[in-house]
Amino acid sequence: MLYCQSGSFTGMSRETHLPTLFQLFRQHGYDGVSLAKIAAATELGKASLYHHFPGGKAEMLAATLAYTQRWMEDNVLELLQNGGSPLERFQKMCDRLNDLYASGEQPCLIAALTLGAPRDVFLEQVIAQLQGLVYAIATVLIEA
């Protein structure tokens, strides 16, 4: 599963809540996740949510996308660039993504976001993530 960075932010770090936000957004999309649902899942009141994310749900999603980008860099792109033959690196990447998606049981965050309101708002960030992945995969395939 995705990792969590620690850091001080009045008790628990806002980073502490990113795995939960990731799960919520990937399961329900942006439009399907209410602040009440987020508050219940994070066990934070709405005031605490706004303390951690003053920009509200849009900031929560932006932080979640940044979190997924860091995970992708550390757990997929790094595997494609280092350690073994191109086939071994590609297989490691596939295994890691298979774990992330629980062998197809868990939805894709990016797919969930393409159906809702944030599609245009976060489009550039999503495209940048996908372009990085496509470039890394293409590089390994060319090398192979």
Give the count of alpha carbons within 13 A of 50, CB side only.
Answer: 5
Considering only CA atoms, which of 126, 141, 29, 26 is closest in space to residue 94? 141
**pLDDT over 70 (residue 117):** no
How far apart CA 115 and CA 49 sit, in angstroms, is 24
Q: What is the pTM of this model?
A: 0.82
Q: Stretch 77-102: mean pLDDT, rounded?
A: 93
Domains, the chain? 14-143 (1.10.357.10)
pLDDT digits (tens, 9 = 90+) for 13-51: 788 999 999 999 999 999 999 999 999 999 999 999 999
Structural tokens at position 35: 């602040």
Say what the pLDDT of residue 6 is: 35
